Amino acid sequence: MEDHLMLADEARRLLFLEARTANTFAADPVSDEQVRAVYDLVKYAPTSMNQQPMRLLLLRSQDSRKRLIGHLAKGNKQKSEEAPLVALLAADMNFHERLPEVFPHVPAAQSLYADVAVREQSAKFNAALQLGYFIIGVRAAGLCAGPIVGYDEQAINRDFFPDGDRRVLAVLNIGLPGIAPWFPRLPRLPYEDVVSTV
C-alpha cells in the first residue's frame, strides 16, 4: 500500500500512534526548560490573524496545586495530585492588544475585535487550536499530556484569573507515565463517518 505521509515512522509513533493520555505519572520532574522547548516548537503553528491567545499558568507551588485540586471533579483529583507538572491552559480575552505587534501590516486588525463577544469567541477558538498544538508538542518532548476539562470552571477563573482577562480552557497534567498509566485505547470513528464529499 502506498504511503501518503512524509513524516517518519518514528515521529508518527511518538506524536500520534503510540502516544497516550496518561492517568498516572512517574515522579521525574518536568523543568521550565522542557516547557520552553515545547513552546518554542509549537508557537509557529497558525492562529487566526496570528492572535496567539493561549496562555499557560504553571502551578509550581504547593499552595497553587492544592487550590486547583479543590476545584477538580472527584475523578480527576488524583491525577493532578500525582503529576510532576500541572498547568492551566487559558485563553487571553485581551489578545487583541498585541495585534499591532504580531499582525502589524493590518492596522485595523485590533478594531475587528472591539466587540467583547466576537473577541471571546475568537480567543477561545484559537486557544483551543493552540492547545491541540501544545499537546502534540508535549509528546514531541517525550512526555505525556493529560488534558482535563472536568472541573469547576468559574471557581478556577475566580481563584487564578481574578482580573477576568484570562479564562481557563483545560487543565494539563504533564510528565512521564507512571504505573498502569492508561486503559486500552478507545475506538476512533471511521473515516467514512467523519469525512464526506459534496
Residue 45: what are its φ and ψ, rounded to 5°?
-70, 150
Angle, CA 43 vertex, CA 106 and CA 115 arms, to 5°: 45
Residue closer to a second copy (CB basis): 10 or 27: 10
Closest alpha carbon to 174 in 43, 54, 21, 72: 21
Instruction: Compute the least distance from the CB of residue 50 to a second copy, in Å.
Output: 5
Q: Which is nearer to a second copy, 36 or 158 (CB)?
A: 36
Shortest distance (Å) from residue 93 CB to a second copy: 15
CA atoms within 13 A on the CB side of 119: 19
Please, what is the minimum distance in Å from the beta carbon of residue 73 to a second copy? Answer: 11
Shortest distance in whole angstroms from residue 77 CB to a second copy: 17
Q: Which class for 26: exposed (0-12), middle (13-18), buried (19 or more C-beta within 10 A)?
A: middle
The residue (of 26 and 58) whose beta carbon lies closer to a second copy is: 58
Q: Report the nearest approach of a second copy to the CB of residue 107 (Å).
A: 14
Q: Which residues of 36-69 are buried (b: 16+ CB within 10 A; e: fewer)?
A: eebeebbeeeebebbbbbbbebebeeeebbeebb
Based on CB atoms, which residue is closest to a second copy, 82 or 126? 126
Pick between residue 37 and residue 81 the one whose CB is nearest to a second copy: 37
φ/ψ (deg, to 5) at 50: 55, 35
